[in-house]
């Protein structure tokens, strides 16, 4: 991975975040991805190598838009990366308006009884 350009590394992170980490939350929903990497915002109109084309194919199932935001204007990313973890307790849902899946809720309830 050290041979990847910054654009390719950020594209890889984007692909993994959407297709692996947040897949359940993003399938069927529209989302906007803000990046301070301007070439990444032109991803779908750029000439891509074979690897990047495979990544784009994996992202085809998701409805998202990539928007450029300069690093100075992208304070949301700084806030999220410096946020302290919750002090105690379990959060009800990972995203406002979503519930914890039933199997996970059962595990959490069983753990709180012990």
pLDDT digits (tens, 9 = 90+) for 14-61: 999 999 999 999 999 999 998 888 888 888 888 999 999 999 999 999
Look at residues 28, 78, 24, 42 and name the one whose alpha carbon lies nearest to residue 11.
42
Structure-token match 């990046």, residue found: 35
Confidence of residue 110 (pLDDT cuts 50, 70, 90): confident
d(CA 20, CA 26): 10
Structure-token match 């300069």, residue found: 70
Residues near 9 by beta carbon (within 8 Å), at least 6 away in sequence: 1
Domain ranges of the chain: 1-80
- Confirm if 9 and 49 have CB atoms less than 8 A apart: no
């Amino acid at each position: 991975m050290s041979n990847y350009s910054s654009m390719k590394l950020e594209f890889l992170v984007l692909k993994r975040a959407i297709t692996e980490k947040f897949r359940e939350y993003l399938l069927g929903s529209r989302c906007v991805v803000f990046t301070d990497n301007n070439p990444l915002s032109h991803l779908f109109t750029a000439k891509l190598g074979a690897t990047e084309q495979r990544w784009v194919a994996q992202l085809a199932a998701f409805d998202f838009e990539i928007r450029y935001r300069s690093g100075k204007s992208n304070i949301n990313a700084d806030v999220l990366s410096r946020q302290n973890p919750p002090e105690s307790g379990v959060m009800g849902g990972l995203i406002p308006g979503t519930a914890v899946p039933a199997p996970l809720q059962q595990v959490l309830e069983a753990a709180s009884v012990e």
